[in-house]
């Protein structure tokens, strides 16, 4: 019998797809206020506010909630609502705002214009929060979201404490803080920021965001590894030849040249997103899905990363910067021609590193990581490449036998594929590689929600599983510091060294060739 399509449960009255029953997140129970610092910025418009709106649309937000935007630009509550409406209309995955939902949502949006170091404006924030508690029934629960430029994070935290908005000042309810990346620009600055955070918040109240961890296929890594029996026995040095983690983009710096030129690919992608992927693939099974059990294992594996000595940097890493080229058939400028980028910049837009994990499971298995902008294709994946068979029984017919590969596809395709060998149909015993593919879209009949939607909801619920704990952030900085130091002090004469739209610099290929391996094609 066909399932009945019901209109119950959707805030905009639209029909609910019964096939999705049980797949959506549950409604958050605690009433709360969310305060977005940096509310005029791109992140708020493109990601955060559309995420909040869709959480409301899908009945995930609690009945009683308020949203406060705080930033430097001058505007009224009314202007802010209009601006957010335009942003949601443009960027929301559910299309333009719908009535009567939008009017109800907009009435819960307030704006405070202020400088991040003026206590008066923070007092105004306090007043608004108290008013919301009274009028919207938000019960004193507060989620602060730092979406400002990172230089401002410490100031906001200090001001919150100064006006009595820190968790210790609270008579009722809970307070949490979400900290956007980058968490520091090197090990020292990360430690300094952590010291500031620590003065006001306890670790369990801090949610360091890495949006890669909110991507559905990234969460599936744990399901693949720990909800199946057939992968874990071969997930080790006895069977795995190497692991290749790729986060390739076709975009350039997208108007963020000012930030990026001081960051580069190693800081922007490898230190956080890519190393977090490594941790999920390489960690030991946690004893439960509890946030701290998972994060304990991530910390353990990251602390086993073999330090790369400054002398080894040349052999263990490669870097590149794109010149002009063709992306999706269209000509694009080189990095040095991008807006707000130094025309003689030596910032890398491509970084690749080889790490080893010094533990029983992974001894001597190389983990190759790479990330770059303006590459041939947007493509992120983790490929576990297995060793060859120990003995060949098929003679010439087996010449095309490949080594097995398991690929966790992160984006744009989402799923898992396994490459293995099969007999080619026919009278002879010809063998070649074939691919078995699982895709989320077709497998579950759903389109994954954007990572930010999942992560903000988790922070509102108090579930820190998909957020990075300080000890892991520190380990990740420790792993990349020798590379950053070495790159800073060695001239890069060959930049730009790859064409926009290509596979990346030749030196990255050479790094694997020297080990008798090659990169998978982007
Ligand atoms: C951000 C980086 O963290 O991740 C950007 O700062 C990068 O430079 C982006 O483009 C990539 O995210 P995604 O989800 O598009 O892979």
Q: Mean pLDDT across the stretch 424-429?
A: 89
Q: What DSSP line would sit under 354-368, residue for residue?
A: EE-B-STTTTT--EE
Ligand 1 pocket, residue 474 CB under 6 Å: no
Ligand 1 pocket, residue 381 CB under 6 Å: no
How large is the C-alpha radius of gyration of the chain? 25
Residue 43 belongs to a domain: yes
Ligand 1 pocket, residue 249 CB under 6 Å: yes
Say whether both 297 and 419 belong to one domain: yes
To test the pocket of ligand 1, the residue of 267, 269, 381 to mutate (highest count of ligand atoms within 8 Å of its CB) is 269
Q: Mean pLDDT across the stretch 14-21?
A: 52
Residue 442's pLDDT is what? Answer: 80
Are 156 and 125 a contacting pair, CB within 8 Å? no
Report how far ligand 1's centroid is from the alpha carbon of 450 (Å): 13
Last residue within a domain, chosen from 180, 202, 229: 180
To test the pocket of ligand 1, the residue of 183, 249, 455 to mutate (highest count of ligand atoms within 8 Å of its CB) is 249
Residue 54 belongs to a domain: yes
Residue 88 belongs to a domain: yes
Are 222 and 466 a contacting pair, CB within 8 Å? no
Residue 181 predicted with pLDDT over 50: yes
Work out which ligand 1 atom sits closest to the CA atom of 272.
Answer: 3
Say whether both 147 and 272 belong to one domain: no
Atom 13 of ligand 1: nearest residue by CA position: 212
Residue 358's pLDDT is what? Answer: 97
Map tokens 């009535």 to a residue. Answer: 99
- pLDDT tens digits for 369-399? 999 999 999 999 999 999 999 988 887 776 7
Q: Mean pLDDT across the stretch 446-460?
A: 92
Report how far ligand 1's centroid is from the alpha carbon of 334 (Å): 19
Range of 133's domain?
31-180
Residue 505 predicted with pLDDT over 90: yes
Structure tokens given for 109: 């949006």
Residue 28's pLDDT is what? Answer: 94
Residue 194 belongs to a domain: no
Residue 201 belongs to a domain: no
Residue 362 predicted with pLDDT over 70: yes
How many domains does the chain contain in total? 2
Report how far ligand 1's centroid is from the alpha carbon of 514 (Å): 30
Dihedral in degrees, nearest 10, Cα atoms 108, 111, 116, 120? -100
Residue 217 belongs to a domain: yes
Domain of residue 68, CATH code: 3.40.50.720
Report how far ligand 1's centroid is from the alpha carbon of 135 (Å): 38
Task: Tell me the residue length of the chain.
Answer: 522
Are 30 and 139 a contacting pair, CB within 8 Å? yes
Ligand 1 pocket, residue 268 CB under 6 Å: yes
Q: Mean pLDDT across the stretch 421-443?
A: 90
Report how far ligand 1's centroid is from the alpha carbon of 16 (Å): 32
Residue 400's pLDDT is what? Answer: 83
Work out which ligand 1 atom sits closest to the CA atom of 260.
Answer: 8
To test the pocket of ligand 1, the residue of 46, 48, 185, 211 to mutate (highest count of ligand atoms within 8 Å of its CB) is 211
Say whether both 324 and 369 belong to one domain: yes
Last residue within a domain, chosen from 155, 180, 205: 180
Say whether both 356 and 397 belong to one domain: yes
Say whether both 154 and 238 belong to one domain: no
Atom 8 of ligand 1: nearest residue by CA position: 268
Say whether both 247 and 161 belong to one domain: no
Q: Mean pLDDT across the stretch 50-70?
A: 96
Residue 89 belongs to a domain: yes
Work out which ligand 1 atom sits closest to the CA atom of 251.
Answer: 10
Report how far ligand 1's centroid is from the alpha carbon of 44 (Å): 15
Q: Catalytic: 211?
A: no
Atom 2 of ligand 1: nearest residue by CA position: 268
**Reported confidence tier of residue 348, pLDDT bands at 50, 70, 90:** very high
Residue 3 belongs to a domain: no
Atom 9 of ligand 1: nearest residue by CA position: 269
The one catalytic residue in 211, 273, 293, 430 is 273
Atom 15 of ligand 1: nearest residue by CA position: 249
Domain of residue 404, CATH code: 3.30.360.10
Say whether both 376 and 236 belong to one domain: yes
Say whether both 226 and 355 belong to one domain: yes
Say whether both 100 and 164 belong to one domain: yes
Last residue within a domain, chosen from 127, 158, 180: 180
**Reported confidence tier of residue 20, pLDDT bands at 50, 70, 90:** low
Q: What DSSP line would sit under 188-209, residue for residue?
A: HHHHHHHHHHHHH--GGGEEE-
Say whether both 323 and 375 belong to one domain: yes
Cis peptide before 216 (omega within 30 of 0): no
Atom 5 of ligand 1: nearest residue by CA position: 268
Report how far ligand 1's centroid is from the alpha carbon of 352 (Å): 16
Residue 18's pLDDT is what? Answer: 53
**Reported confidence tier of residue 317, pLDDT bands at 50, 70, 90:** very high
More confident residue, 15 or 496: 496
Q: Mean pLDDT across the stretch 20-43?
A: 83
Say whether both 251 and 159 belong to one domain: no
Q: What DSSP line would sit under 218-274, residue for residue?
A: HHHHHHHHHS-SSSGGGSSTTTEEEEEEEEE-S---TT-HHHHHHH-HIIIIIIIII
Q: Is the dihedral of CA 213, 486, 353, 321 positive or negative?
A: positive
Report how far ligand 1's centroid is from the alpha carbon of 78 (Å): 31
Beta strand pairing call for 32-37 and 142-146: parallel
Atom 6 of ligand 1: nearest residue by CA position: 268
- pLDDT tens digits for 130-151? 999 999 999 999 999 999 988 9
**Reported confidence tier of residue 12, pLDDT bands at 50, 70, 90:** very low
- Tell me how far apart the alpha carbons of residues 437 and 431 are, in angstroms, rounded to a whole number: 19
In whole angstroms, how far apart are CA 396 and each of 400, 401, 428, 432?
Answer: 8, 10, 11, 12
Say whether both 217 and 172 belong to one domain: no
């Amino acid at each position: 019998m066909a399932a009945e399509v019901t209109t119950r449960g959707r805030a905009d009255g639209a029909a609910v797809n019964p096939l999705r029953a049980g797949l959506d997140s549950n409604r958050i129970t605690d009433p709360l206020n969310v305060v977005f610092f940096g509310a005029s910025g791109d992140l708020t418009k493109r990601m955060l506010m559309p995420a909040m709106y869709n959480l409301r649309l899908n009945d995930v937000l609690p009945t009683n909630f308020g949203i406060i935007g705080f930033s430097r630009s001058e505007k009224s509550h009314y202007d802010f609502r209009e601006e957010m409406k335009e942003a949601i209309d443009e960027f929301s995955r559910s299309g333009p705002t719908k009535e009567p939902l939008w009017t109800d949502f907009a009435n819960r949006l307030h704006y405070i214009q202020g400088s991040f170091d003026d206590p008066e404006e923070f007092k105004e924030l306090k007043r608004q929060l108290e008013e919301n508690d009274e009028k919207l029934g938000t019960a004193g629960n507060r989620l602060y979201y730092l979406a400002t430029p990172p230089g401002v994070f410490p100031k906001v935290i200090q001001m919150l404490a100064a006006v009595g908005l820190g968790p210790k000042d609270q008579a009722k309810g809970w307070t949490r803080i979400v900290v956007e990346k980058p968490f520091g620009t090197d090990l020292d600055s990360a430690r300094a920021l952590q010291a500031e955070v620590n003065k006001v918040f306890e670790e369990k109240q801090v949610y360091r965001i890495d949006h890669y961890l909110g991507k559905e296929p990234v969460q599936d890594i744990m399901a693949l590894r720990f909800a199946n029996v057939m992968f874990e026995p071969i997930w080790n040095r006895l069977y795995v030849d190497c692991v290749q983690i790729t986060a390739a983009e076709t975009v350039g710096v997208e108007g963020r040249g000012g930030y990026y030129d001081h960051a580069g690919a190693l800081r922007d992608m490898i230190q956080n997103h890519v190393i977090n992927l490594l941790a999920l693939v390489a960690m030991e099974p946690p004893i439960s899905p509890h946030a701290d059990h998972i994060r304990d294992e991530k910390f353990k594996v990251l602390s086993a990363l073999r330090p790369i000595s400054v002398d080894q940097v040349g052999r263990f890493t490669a870097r590149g910067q794109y010149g002009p080229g063709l992306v999706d058939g269209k000509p694009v400028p080189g990095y040095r021609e991008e807006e707000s980028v130094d025309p003689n910049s030596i910032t890398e837009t491509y970084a690749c590193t080889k790490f080893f994990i010094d533990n029983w499971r992974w001894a001597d298995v190389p983990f190759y990581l790479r990330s770059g902008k303006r590459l041939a294709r947007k493509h992120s994946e983790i490929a576990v490449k297995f060793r060859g068979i120990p003995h060949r029984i098929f003679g010439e017919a087996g010449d095309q036998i490949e080594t097995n590969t398991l690929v966790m596809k992160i984006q744009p395709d989402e799923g898992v594929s396994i490459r293995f060998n099969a007999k080619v149909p026919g009278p002879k015993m010809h063998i070649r590689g074939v691919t078995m593919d699982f895709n989320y879209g077709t497998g579950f009949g759903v389109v994954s929600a954007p990572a930010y939607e999942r992560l903000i909801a988790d922070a509102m619920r108090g579930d820190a599983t998909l957020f990075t704990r300080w000890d892991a952030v520190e380990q990740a900085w420790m792993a990349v510091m020798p590379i950053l130091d070495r790159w800073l002090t060695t001239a890069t004469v060959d930049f730009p060294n790859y064409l926009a739209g290509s596979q990346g610099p030749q030196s990255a290929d050479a790094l694997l060739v020297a080990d008798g391996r090659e990169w998978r094609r982007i």
